[in-house]
Amino acid sequence: MFMKLFTIFFFSLLSQSLQSSSRTLDFTYNGFVTEYYSNMYNNISIEGTASLTSNGLLVLTNTNFQGTGHAFYTKPIRFKDSPNDTASSFSTAFVFAINPQIPILSGHGLAFVVAPSLGLPFSYPSQYLGLFNISNNGNDSNHVFAVELDTIRSTEFNDTDDNHVGIDINSLRSVESSPAGYWDKKGQFKNLSLISGKRMQVWVDYDGRTHRINVTMAPFRKVKPMKPLVSVIRDLSSVLLQDMFVGFSSATGSVRSEHYVLGWSFSVKGEAPPLSLSKLPKLPWFKDTRIDRFISLLLIPLLFIISLLFLVRFILRRRRKLSEELEDWETEFGKNRLRFKDLYFATKGFKEKDLLGSGGFGSVYRGVMPKTEKEVAVKRVSNKSKQGLKEFVAEIVSIGQMSHRNLVPLLGYCRRRDELLLVYDYMPNGSLDKYLYNSPDVTLDWKQRFKVIKGVASALFFLHEEWEQVVIHRDVKASNVLLDSEHNGRLGDFGLARLCGHGSDPQTTHVAGTWGYLAPDYIRTGRATTATDVFAFGVLLLEVACGRRPIDQNENGERLLLVDWVLGFWTEENILDAKDPKLGPEYDQREVEMVLKLGLLCAHPNPQVRPTMRQVLHYLKGDAMLPDFSPSDFCGGGMTLGINQGLGELATFIGVSSIADSILSGGR
Ligand SMILES: *[C@@H]1O[C@H](CO)[C@@H](O)[C@H](O)[C@H]1NC(C)=O
Ligand SMILES: *[C@@H]1O[C@H](CO)[C@@H](O)[C@H](O)[C@H]1NC(C)=O
Ligand SMILES: *[C@@H]1O[C@H](CO)[C@@H](O)[C@H](O)[C@H]1NC(C)=O
Ligand SMILES: *[C@@H]1O[C@H](CO)[C@@H](O)[C@H](O)[C@H]1NC(C)=O
Ligand SMILES: *[C@@H]1O[C@H](CO)[C@@H](O)[C@H](O)[C@H]1NC(C)=O
Ligand SMILES: *[C@@H]1O[C@H](CO)[C@@H](O)[C@H](O)[C@H]1NC(C)=O
Ligand SMILES: *[C@@H]1O[C@H](CO)[C@@H](O)[C@H](O)[C@H]1NC(C)=O
């Protein structure tokens, strides 16, 4: 059935073409340069602003002045077999693009044109699209057929909008027009913007028998829609002459605009050959959608993979950062060892904000333990030498088991590489030094100070004599005395001084401690003893009673030892004048005097003369009277000389050894 119909149709077509006895003419330009013909021989004649680019684009306009551009197929096309015959069917297809340089101020459009001559002399630019001039517009003697792709609404030509397609016969006043767009397969109208810069296809078909003119549009790469955009019945026999020229016309106004034709095919008495869209030349601004697709196909997964890698790296880093390092020897300290992760979260990653202070042994951070919500102080001690760490941890843990009401409780430790983290109870009232100097906001009255002194003394006594082994604190000072919620003095940082010196030869042990608290015998020999702790405690007693630093400056800017200063008052028999004026009137005169003298006795240059902590505790509790001694016991090669000598030696000592300033965290 189908075959039969087809054969009939075929033969009727054949007979028709035999009747008209003329061969069909057609040509195809997939770009306007061919392999064998240079621009000159490609049968395209250009005029006005038009030009051809080396890659084969037909540029109709590319200027910002008023001008017209024409491009015509150089040979005349025979539309009629004889001058009085009816016009034959014809068909054309082309791809164009308009550069959207300034979208709101677009230039004018372009038109496919069938004209009686090669070019359109006397035509006007701007809204005349290079087709007509003001006097011949609308005159039937023009013999011009055009399809305009107009981007400006010219009310004088009854344009419907600034983005329309119209069929023009001898006049810019279109016989039929429509907003640019196409009817898709579902029968829905889709708008197209002519100045979008996108490539678009246009088909113009004229049926010589039915006289129907169809204009159809579609986006690039879309198949030709079934339903035309503009369709009208008009016999073109009176318009078209026997031989006509076909081509394109465009014009600019005052705004720069660029009109391009990328490919074109034409046929008389047949359908225009389809264009090979993939062979068309590239537009200067156009990025190939295949590249876009390639990029999106390749780049998006690539980006995804990269971001995944970053995420994995971040997670791994974080895990490594928070990972635990447990060495075999540490298992015996089991419950004293805390998890680094907990400490990390407790201190919110050791934030600067939570830094309580930093000193010779490291920085102290405030934190809240995750589960128990207990407030803690975490001390980060960095330790350069790994050897001896085991012994030190053992000692710390053993000391941590000591429980004394005047020691800051050590809750546990954590070791990570060569860093040691010691976790203490958080002391809400801070360290003693903050209440003594630098015009403190809160001062302690004598009762409170005396309680603190007694507390520290009993802690030191505990370390020296009551614990199973002798523990030398090595860094007794006001900033190491912390006040708990009841303002009890608690000694912190015990045993830490060992860390800086451990593992090295006792002969060359570095002097560790704090400037102003170092006993002269310690500086000379480098050996810490209980007596060197007593010396430092003596300095602390004077500090508490006088509210002054161990080494201060007088009005003349000279450095002054607190010991010398107190001794000076005693020599003048008014030792009580050395007391802290911030004490106020409420104090026990006998106690203050006793503390000042005891401080001097403890800080005696001769370690043999210094009392033991047991004796000190007796004196403080009033169980024993201070031995009889006078300022003269310190003179004559005594106190003053001893201390100064000690400092001098220390200075040289610092000069020759590489002792870090940080170890001697001087006078905070
Ligand atoms: C130009 O015209 C000549 C002669 O008609 C023809 O041989 C040639 O193929 C044409 N060139 C192009 C590029 O169409
Ligand atoms: C065409 O028509 C004109 C008048 O309409 C006539 O003068 C002329 O002879 C005709 N030519 C031919 C070839 O039929
Ligand atoms: C318009 O064009 C016609 C030719 O089509 C020419 O004869 C005429 O002089 C032109 N008029 C103007 C005003 O340019
Ligand atoms: C149309 O143009 C022709 C020739 O250019 C001229 O003689 C005629 O007067 C014009 N007609 C109108 C209506 O302008
Ligand atoms: C143009 O539009 C005006 C008003 O809408 C109308 O009067 C006139 O007839 C129209 N002209 C043409 C040629 O369509
Ligand atoms: C198409 O364009 C017309 C007029 O420009 C507008 O009214 C209509 O909303 C547009 N439709 C779509 C789907 O953009
Ligand atoms: C024009 O389009 C109609 C469909 O709307 C179609 O039937 C007709 O064949 C078309 N004519 C030409 C010349 O393509």
Structure-model confidence comparison of residues 288 and 200, the more confident one: 200
Distance CA 661, CA 664 (A): 5
- Looking from the CA of residue 213, the nearest atom of ligand 7 is 13
| 133 C-beta closer than 6 A to ligand 3 | yes
Which of 272, 290, 305 is the endpoint of a domain?
272
CATH code, domain carrying 73: 2.60.120.200
Distance from residue 280's CA to the centre of ligand 1 (Å): 19
| 117 C-beta closer than 6 A to ligand 3 | no
For ligand 3, atom 14: residue with the closest CA = 122
Distance from residue 118's CA to the centre of ligand 1 (Å): 17
Distance from residue 84's CA to the centre of ligand 2 (Å): 6
- Looking from the CA of residue 82, the nearest atom of ligand 2 is 13
- Looking from the CA of residue 83, the nearest atom of ligand 2 is 13
Distance from residue 146's CA to the centre of ligand 4 (Å): 19
Mutate which of 140, 141, 170 for ligand 4? The one with the most ligand atoms within 8 Å of its CB, which is 141
Q: If pLDDT is split at 50, 70 and 90, which confidence band does 583 have?
A: confident
* Residue 437 and residue 381 share a domain: no
Distance from residue 137's CA to the centre of ligand 4 (Å): 10
* Residue 474 and residue 408 share a domain: no
Ligand nearest to the CA of 84: 2
Structure-model confidence comparison of residues 34 and 421, the more confident one: 421
Decide if pLDDT at 195 tops 90. no
Express each pLDDT in 274-308 by its tens digit: 999 998 998 887 655 566 677 777 888 899 999 99
Ligand nearest to the CA of 177: 5
Ligand nearest to the CA of 75: 1
User: Distance of alpha carbon 164 from its chain centroid, rounded?
Assistant: 48
Q: If pLDDT is split at 50, 70 and 90, which confidence band does 133 have?
A: confident
For ligand 3, atom 5: residue with the closest CA = 136
Number of domains present in the structure of the chain: 3
Percentage of the chain modeled with pLDDT above 70: 80
- Looking from the CA of residue 28, the nearest atom of ligand 1 is 14
Report residue 104 as tokens: 């709101």
Express each pLDDT in 5-28 by its tens digit: 444 444 444 444 333 434 558 899
CB within 6 Å of ligand 4 — which residues?
Answer: 139, 141
pLDDT at 632: 83
Range of the domain at 199: 22-272
Any bridge partners for residue 95, and if so which?
Answer: 201, 263
Express each pLDDT in 484-524 by its tens digit: 888 899 988 765 655 544 334 444 445 666 778 888 888 88
For ligand 6, atom 3: residue with the closest CA = 191
Distance from residue 138's CA to the centre of ligand 3 (Å): 12
Active-site positions? 475
Ligand nearest to the CA of 156: 5
Structure-model confidence comparison of residues 126 and 538, the more confident one: 538
Which of 365, 397, 426 is the endpoint of a domain?
426
* 318 assigned to some structural domain: no
| 237 C-beta closer than 6 A to ligand 2 | no
Distance CA 174, CA 176 (A): 5
> Which secondary structure element, helix H or strand E, spans residue 69, and what is its range?
strand 67-73
| 173 C-beta closer than 6 A to ligand 5 | yes
* 284 assigned to some structural domain: no
* 387 assigned to some structural domain: yes
Each as own residue / partner, the long-range contacts of residues 7-11 (CB below 8 Å, 24 or more positions apart, any chain) are none
* Residue 466 and residue 410 share a domain: no
Which of 403, 426, 449 is the endpoint of a domain?
426
Q: What is the dihedral of CA 476, 479, 485, 491, to 10 degrees?
A: -20
* Residue 607 and residue 521 share a domain: yes
* 45 assigned to some structural domain: yes
C-alpha distance from residue 248 to each of 48, 99, 173 (Å):
12, 17, 18
Average pLDDT for the chain: 81
* Residue 527 and residue 397 share a domain: no
* Residue 111 and residue 87 share a domain: yes
* 312 assigned to some structural domain: no
* Residue 123 and residue 194 share a domain: yes
Report residue 323 as tokens: 């990972």
* Residue 179 and residue 251 share a domain: yes
Report residue 280 as tokens: 């068309």
CATH code, domain carrying 361: 3.30.200.20
* 303 assigned to some structural domain: no
CB within 6 Å of ligand 6 — which residues?
Answer: 161, 179, 191
Express each pLDDT in 463-475 by its tens digit: 888 887 788 888 8
CATH code, domain carrying 623: 1.10.510.10
* Residue 102 and residue 225 share a domain: yes
* Residue 593 and residue 522 share a domain: yes
DSSP code per residue over 579-592: S-GGG-S-S-HHHH
* 524 assigned to some structural domain: yes
User: Distance of alpha carbon 234 from its chain centroid, rounded?
Assistant: 66
Express each pLDDT in 379-403 by its tens digit: 887 765 555 677 777 767 776 777 8
* 95 assigned to some structural domain: yes
- Binding site annotation covers 379? yes
* Residue 493 and residue 349 share a domain: no
Mutate which of 80, 84, 238, 242 for ligand 2? The one with the most ligand atoms within 8 Å of its CB, which is 84
Distance CA 522, CA 664 (A): 14
* Residue 630 and residue 507 share a domain: yes
Decide if pLDDT at 667 tops 80. no
Percentage of the chain modeled with pLDDT above 90: 32
Closest listed residue to residue 365, CA positions, set 385, 348, 386:
348
- Looking from the CA of residue 207, the nearest atom of ligand 7 is 13
Judge whether 407 and 494 are in contact, CB under 8 Å. Answer: yes
Contacts of 500 (CB under 8 A, 6+ apart): 360, 361, 510, 512, 663
Tokens 């860390």, residue? 499
CB within 6 Å of ligand 1 — which residues?
Answer: 27, 34, 37, 42-43
C-alpha distance from residue 50 to each of 31, 47, 285, 573 (Å):
15, 6, 19, 115
Distance from residue 133's CA to the centre of ligand 3 (Å): 6
